[in-house]
């Protein structure tokens, strides 16, 4: 399989060999090739020191650009004939227990370099140009067994770099593997060390987990390894005690099921559909949509359990947690808004909505409408098939009404029948607060009654203005 590597890589291997140095493809690209998966990254390791690596790379790409921002860690990059590579000098590392940043020292052997990798499945290499397969820690067997195991003692591995524990859960999601027993036990024992890792690095691993093929399984591992208590404590907090009469659902299991169902409703990857898979905002919203339930649970008379306003409380909690995890403002805003809106549909089930209410639903959702459709449908986890069918029919009806109104009114671009310039001209007003108030009044009329037309809108505007003057 490695003979099919692009010719420029074989040529690069020959250049290193002629210079008396070793070069090996290493890590994820090797693992993915064994699994029959493609890999965009081409990571290499070498016995050459950075200055010698740079000299060889310049000979390889004819004096083209060299990326050396990682030179202090022994890493340089280059491209040639459409092939991009990163090459790192063999390393050994020591760690300060208070930091996951290694003190880097260059190593002398490939096996030594592989020993510092996170898991055995990432500690395999292929030498170039000979294509010799190197697997000192049994990674090939662990791939066959679908097991994640550290190449060295897991306590030492996770003590050195606590982020590897997050990567374990991430690889469960991405690869569908299981974590070996001793490796999992070490992670549980050292889970609190994840707190020395920056929020940005934790976020990146969580995002990769959520966008993987098996995020449900990855999240379960995150909880079972006690990592979630430190990085996403609201998730294990949803494991509410279930009363003996089962008057409310297991919120934790429900949330994971909603996540699964939301993913199933994503548009196929590459289809150009409205919510193309994998969609991070939808998946975060599905996971966190009931995050406010533990804080709002109340026992009412007669043993009734309620979670009043959990959607508004949950929206604030979701925003706070995502901010702590250093997510960008747009993602935070969108996820929080979906959490806030996820119960709105239930009013449609209770009583038929007016056209005005449908317009408000669409307007409030804005560009999140397609995600809200999927989140709302995914939130149905009842075992009562009759109830599930009734909810599905009700939402089908709502979507049909939205489509019909959209066709009539271009609902996603609702504007008053008169713009600000027309309002200022008709009322002879300069720009200011009163123009904004008039605009909002006309927008309310537009929402309530649909398109008015310019003539009627002007009549309504003048009537409103006269009433203000009295």
Q: Which residues sit opposite 357 in a β-bridge?
A: none
- Residue 243's pLDDT is what? 44
Contact 46, 60 (CB under 8 A): no
SS (H, E, C) the chain: CHHHCCHHHHHHHHHHHHCCCCEEEECHHHHHHHCCCCCCCCEEEECCCHHHHHHHHHHHCCCCCEEEEEHHHCEEEEEECCEEEEEEECEEEEECCCCCCEEEEECCCHHHHHHCCCCHHHCCEEEECCCCEECCCCHHHHHHHCEECCCCCHHHHHHHCCHHHHHHHHHHHHHCCEECHHHHHHHHHCHHHHHHCCHHHHHHHHHHHHCCCCHHHHHHHHHHCCCHHHHCCHHHHCCCCCCCCCCCCCHHHHHHHHHHHHHHCCECCCCCCCCECCCHHHHHHHHHCCCCHHHHCEECHHHCEECCCHHHHHHHHHHHHHHHCCCCHHHHHHHHHHHHHCCCCHHHHHCCCCHHHHHHHHHHHHHHHHHHHHHHHHCCCCCCHHHHHHHHHHHHHHHHHHHHHHHHHCHHHCCCCCCHHHHHHHHCCCCCHHHHHHHHHHHHHHHHHCCCCHHHHHHHHHHHHHHHHC
Can you tell me the distance from the alpha carbon of 47 to that of 374, in angstroms, rounded to the nearest whole number?
Answer: 52
**Residue 257: how many other CB atoms lie within 10 Å:** 18
Residues 6+ apart with CB under 8 A from 445: 416, 452, 457, 460
> Which tokens is 179 given?
């974590």
pTM, entire model: 0.82
Residue with tokens 């294509």: 131
Rounded to 5 degrees, φ, ψ at 447 are -65, -40
In the chain, the N- to C-terminal Cα span, in Å, equals 85
Can you tell me the distance from the alpha carbon of 240 to that of 391, in angstroms, rounded to the nearest whole number?
Answer: 25
Q: What angle do CA 330, 335, 336 make, to 5 degrees?
A: 100
Classified by CATH at the fold level, domain 249-414 comes out as Hypothetical protein af1432 (1.10.3210)
- Residue 54's pLDDT is what? 94
Contact 283, 211 (CB under 8 A): yes
- Residue 125's pLDDT is what? 96
- Residue 244's pLDDT is what? 43
Can you tell me the distance from the alpha carbon of 294 to that of 314, in angstroms, rounded to the nearest whole number?
Answer: 10
For every one of its 470 residues, what pLDDT tens digit does the chain have, with 9 covering 90 and above? 677 788 999 999 999 999 999 999 999 999 999 998 887 788 999 999 999 999 999 999 988 899 988 888 899 999 999 899 999 999 886 666 666 566 677 888 999 999 999 999 999 999 999 999 999 999 999 999 999 999 999 999 999 999 999 999 999 999 999 999 999 999 999 999 999 999 999 999 999 999 999 999 999 999 999 999 999 999 999 986 554 444 446 889 999 999 999 999 999 888 888 899 999 999 999 999 999 998 888 877 766 777 778 989 999 999 999 999 999 999 999 999 999 999 888 877 777 788 888 888 888 998 999 999 999 999 988 888 888 888 888 888 888 888 888 777 665 567 888 888 899 999 888 888 888 888 988 888 888 888 888 899 999 999 998 888 77
Can you tell me the distance from the alpha carbon of 353 to that of 236, in angstroms, rounded to the nearest whole number?
Answer: 37
Contact 268, 279 (CB under 8 A): no
Q: Where are the domains of the chain?
A: 2-138, 146-232, 249-414, 415-469
Can you tell me the distance from the alpha carbon of 78 to that of 456, in angstroms, rounded to the nearest whole number?
Answer: 66
Classified by CATH at the fold level, domain 2-138 comes out as Beta Polymerase; domain 2 (3.30.460)
- Residue 245's pLDDT is what? 42
Q: Which CATH class is domain 146-232?
A: mainly alpha
> Which tokens is 430 given?
């300069």
């Amino acid at each position: 399989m490695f003979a099919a590597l692009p010719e420029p890589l074989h040529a690069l291997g020959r250049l290193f060999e002629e210079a008396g140095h070793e070069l090996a493809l290493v890590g994820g690209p090797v693992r993915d090739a064994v699994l029959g998966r493609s890999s965009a990254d081409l990571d290499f390791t070498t016995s050459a020191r950075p200055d010698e690596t740079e000299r060889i790379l310049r000979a390889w790409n004819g004096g083209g650009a060299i990326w050396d921002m990682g030179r202090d860690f022994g890493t340089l990059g280059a491209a040639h004939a459409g092939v991009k590579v990163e090459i790192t000098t063999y390393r050994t590392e020591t760690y300060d227990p208070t930091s996951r940043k290694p003190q880097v020292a260059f190593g002398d052997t490939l096996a030594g370099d592989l020993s510092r990798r996170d898991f055995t499945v990432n500690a395999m290499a292929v030498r170039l140009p000979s294509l010799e397969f190197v697997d000192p820690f049994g990674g090939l067997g662990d791939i066959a067994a679908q097991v994640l195991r550290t190449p060295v003692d897991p306590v030492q591995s996770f003590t050195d770099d606590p982020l590897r524990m997050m990567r374990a859960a991430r690889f469960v999601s991405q690869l569908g593997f299981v974590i070996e027993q001793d490796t999992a036990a070490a992670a549980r024992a050292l889970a609190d060390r994840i707190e020395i890792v920056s929020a940005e690095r934790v976020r990146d691993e969580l995002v990769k987990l959520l966008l993987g093929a098996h995020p449900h399984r990855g999240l379960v591992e995150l909880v079972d390894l006690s990592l979630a208590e430190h990085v996403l404590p609201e998730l294990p907090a949803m494991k509410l005690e279930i009363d003996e009469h089962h008057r409310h659902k297991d919120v934790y299991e429900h949330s994971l099921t909603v996540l699964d169902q939301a993913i199933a409703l994503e548009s196929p990857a590459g289809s150009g559909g409205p919510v193309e898979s994998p969609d991070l905002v939808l998946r975060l919203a599905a996971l966190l949509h009931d995050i406010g339930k533990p804080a709002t649970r109340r026992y009412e008379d007669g043993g009734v359990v309620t979670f009043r306003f959990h959607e508004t409380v949950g929206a604030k909690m979701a925003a706070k947690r995502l901010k702590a995890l250093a997510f960008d403002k747009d993602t935070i805003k969108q996820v929080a808004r979906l959490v806030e809106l996820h119960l709105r549909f239930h009013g449609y089930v209770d009583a038929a909505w007016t056209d005005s209410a449908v317009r408000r639903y669409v307007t409030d959702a804005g560009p999140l409408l397609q995600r809200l459709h999927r989140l709302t449908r995914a939130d149905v986890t009842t075992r009562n098939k009759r109830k599930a069918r009734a909810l599905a029919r009700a939402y089908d009806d709502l979507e049909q009404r939205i489509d019909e109104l959209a066709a009539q009114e271009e609902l996603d671009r609702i504007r008053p029948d008169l713009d600000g310039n027309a309002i200022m001209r008709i009322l002879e007003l300069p720009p200011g607060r009163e123009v904004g108030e008039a605009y909002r009044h006309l927008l309310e009329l537009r929402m309530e009654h649909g398109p008015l037309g310019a003539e009627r809108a002007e009549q309504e505007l003048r009537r409103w203005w006269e009433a203000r003057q009295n």
